[in-house]
Chain A
Amino acid sequence: MEAQEYIDSGILELYVYGLLTETENIEIAEMAKKNPEMDQEIIAIEKAIVALSSSFSPFHSVANFEKIKARLELKHGKVVEMKPTSKWSQYVGWAAAVLLLLGLGYQTLELTKTKDAIATVGNEKNKIERDFAYLDQQNKETEKNLTIVRDIKNTGVTLGGQTVSPTSFAKVYWNKDTKTTYIDAAGLPKPPKGMVYQVWALKLSPVLTPTSIGLLSDFEGNSNKIFAVDRTNEAEAFGITLEPAGGSLTPTMTQLYTLGKV
């Protein structure tokens, strides 16, 4: 008989029901092995009859299942060695979960690192900004000073060192129009504690008349050593003396550091 004839005859149903002789069973099992169509037919018949009979099963308690397991001593079920080829599917869940866990852990770690890095960079940025602001200010001051030096309206007066301090020197920039006066004191030594340089505008004739035009206060704090002093209306010479803090009414001539004629 051909496979299709078997299928159509209805013998496969009887095969599943278990109603055939052993010879017939062996013959069909053999054929089904070689013929996928027949095999599929048998499986379909089996599915149908299992579904039908299962749907008519009266309720039976879960306790029944436990009783059978107890009788078979299956309570402590054996652990079965897992074949990776056939059982990979049950590991997929765990594997994915572990990967997820590792991934998230790694991300958290990275996040921490990044946050730290951002904090560090933020701090550096603040520092740089501060440095920049400072440099900017310095730059502006320098530019301002340069403007003073460059201004052609400014009369530059060089003050040479005197007996007290022959190596000292200073420069006065005096704008005769606006009367503004700046002192470049870079050539003066650091004043001793409690002492301050005082700048004098001098009239030479008819009588030597010194007029104080200001103190070079905060000598150390001024890095450029360019000081703005009071306006000077008329002067024939400028002099710088070292005076006690707060300045003096008249110059202490023994402490005359620099002097220069206009």
Chain B
Amino acid sequence: MKKNTIFFKTPYFTRDLTVKKNAFFKKKSIIFISGITILFNKFCLNLKNLKSMSQEELLVLIYKKDERAFTHLYDMYSKSLFSVINVLIRNREEAEDVLQEVFVKIWKNIDSYNESKGRFYTWILNIARNTSIDKLRSKDFNNSQKNLPSDNFVHLLDDSNKLVNRIDTIGIQEFVKKLKPKCIEIIDLLFFKGYTQQEASEELAMPLGTIKTQNRNCINDLRNYLKI
């Protein structure tokens, strides 16, 4: 009988301990799992952001006027447009104002973009050019700026101290430095300054057809370099 009493008491005691241990283990594991969940989702979001969207994917979002779509739009194209604006305006502060104006215009007039009339990027590029030119012509724009000698886009590099944290773009800048001077001139006039073929051929004293094919060769060099 004595043996039996001990025998029955022992398991209850042991079980009590086991239950406490399990509760502790559960709490700990929940915290651990929550941590992993958060990290995992951050990772997924990062992956999503890193992945560049296609124009079509972006447009789907844009048509919903979603804030995230605006963020994507800005991430994808603000740098490109800002460099165009800077080539035309050549004043950093004014250029920033124009950039703001350009994105406000894009967002407010998004419904007037027509896919059957060209690329979305081309549409916003034209908005950037036109807004910049309007700004140059406006009365309140600093007159002294208008008569500055026209620099090409490579001069944007001179402002090297402003190009911090741009390791990803150093390669392409180095490449451009090696580009034929003719290529820089052609791309500068046609793309950055929006000259027509006619205007460019007069400016560079080149036959009309040559401008177009030369430009293609330059872009092909660039594409080979970028592997696209």
A residues apposed to B, CB below 8 Å: 8-11, 13-19, 22, 25-26, 28-30, 42-61, 64-65, 67-69, 71-72, 74, 77-78, 80, 86, 89-90, 92-94, 96-98, 100-101, 104, 108, 111-112, 115-116, 119-120, 123, 126-127, 130
B66 contacts A53, C-beta separation under 8 Å: no
B48 CB contacts on chain A under 8 angstroms: 89-90
B22 CB contacts on chain A under 8 angstroms: 108, 111-112, 115
Instruction: Out of B11, B104, B122, B126, name the residue touching A68 (CB < 8 Å).
Output: B104
Q: How large is the interface on B (under 10, 10 to 19, 20 to 34, 35 or more residues)?
A: 35 or more
- With both beta carbons as reference points, the residue of chain A lying nearest to B117 in the complex is identified as A25
B140 contacts partner chain A, Cβ-Cβ < 8 Å: no
Could you show 29 A-B contacts with beta carbons less than 8 Å apart?
A: A14-B197, A18-B194, A28-B118, A29-B118, A51-B226, A53-B79, A53-B191, A55-B79, A57-B79, A58-B95, A64-B96, A69-B67, A72-B103, A77-B66, A77-B67, A90-B48, A93-B40, A94-B37, A94-B41, A97-B37, A97-B40, A97-B41, A98-B37, A100-B37, A101-B33, A104-B33, A108-B22, A115-B22, A127-B7
A116 CB contacts on chain B under 8 angstroms: 15, 18
Distance A15 CA – B122 CA, assembled complex (angstroms): 8
B173 contacts A56, C-beta separation under 8 Å: yes
A50 contacts B80, C-beta separation under 8 Å: yes
Instruction: Out of A30, A56, A127, name the residue touching B83 (CB < 8 Å).
Output: A56
A68 CB contacts on chain B under 8 angstroms: 74, 99-100, 103-104
A26 contacts B190, C-beta separation under 8 Å: no
B residues apposed to A, CB below 8 Å: 3, 7, 10-11, 14-15, 18, 22, 25-26, 29, 33-34, 36-37, 40-41, 43-45, 48, 54-55, 60-61, 64-68, 70, 74, 76-84, 86, 92, 95-96, 99-100, 103-104, 107-108, 115-119, 121-123, 125-126, 129, 153-154, 156-157, 159, 162-164, 166, 168-169, 172-173, 176, 187, 190-192, 194-197, 212-213, 215-216, 219, 222-223, 226, 228
Q: Which 10 A-B pairs have the closest CB atoms?
A: A77-B67, A10-B216, A55-B169, A93-B44, A57-B79, A54-B79, A97-B37, A10-B212, A55-B172, A53-B80
| A48-B223, A115-B22 known; A64+B99 contact, CB < 8 A | yes
B190 contacts A25, C-beta separation under 8 Å: no
B11 contacts A16, C-beta separation under 8 Å: no
Main secondary structure of the interface of A (DSSP, over half): helix
B18 CB contacts on chain A under 8 angstroms: 115-116, 119
Distance A251 CA – B123 CA, assembled complex (angstroms): 131
A108 contacts B25, C-beta separation under 8 Å: yes
B159 CB contacts on chain A under 8 angstroms: 58
Nearest CB on B from A216, distance (A): 23
| A11-B212, A26-B116, A46-B119 known; A54+B83 contact, CB < 8 A | yes
B76 CB contacts on chain A under 8 angstroms: 50
Distance A72 CA – B66 CA, assembled complex (angstroms): 12
B162 CB contacts on chain A under 8 angstroms: 58-59
Distance A130 CA – B67 CA, assembled complex (angstroms): 74
A53 CB contacts on chain B under 8 angstroms: 79-81, 83-84, 153, 191-192
Distance A93 CA – B166 CA, assembled complex (angstroms): 30
B126 CB contacts on chain A under 8 angstroms: 18
B60 CB contacts on chain A under 8 angstroms: 86
Distance A140 CA – B176 CA, assembled complex (angstroms): 101
A77 contacts B68, C-beta separation under 8 Å: yes
Distance A245 CA – B10 CA, assembled complex (angstroms): 39
A48 contacts B219, C-beta separation under 8 Å: yes
A8 CB contacts on chain B under 8 angstroms: 216
Distance A120 CA – B18 CA, assembled complex (angstroms): 12
Nearest CB on B from A262, distance (A): 41
| A18-B122, A51-B172, A57-B79 known; A45+B36 contact, CB < 8 A | no
B40 CB contacts on chain A under 8 angstroms: 93, 96-97
- Most chain B beta-carbon neighbours within 10 Å: one of A64, A89, A111: A64
Distance A225 CA – B213 CA, assembled complex (angstroms): 121
Distance A94 CA – B45 CA, assembled complex (angstroms): 11
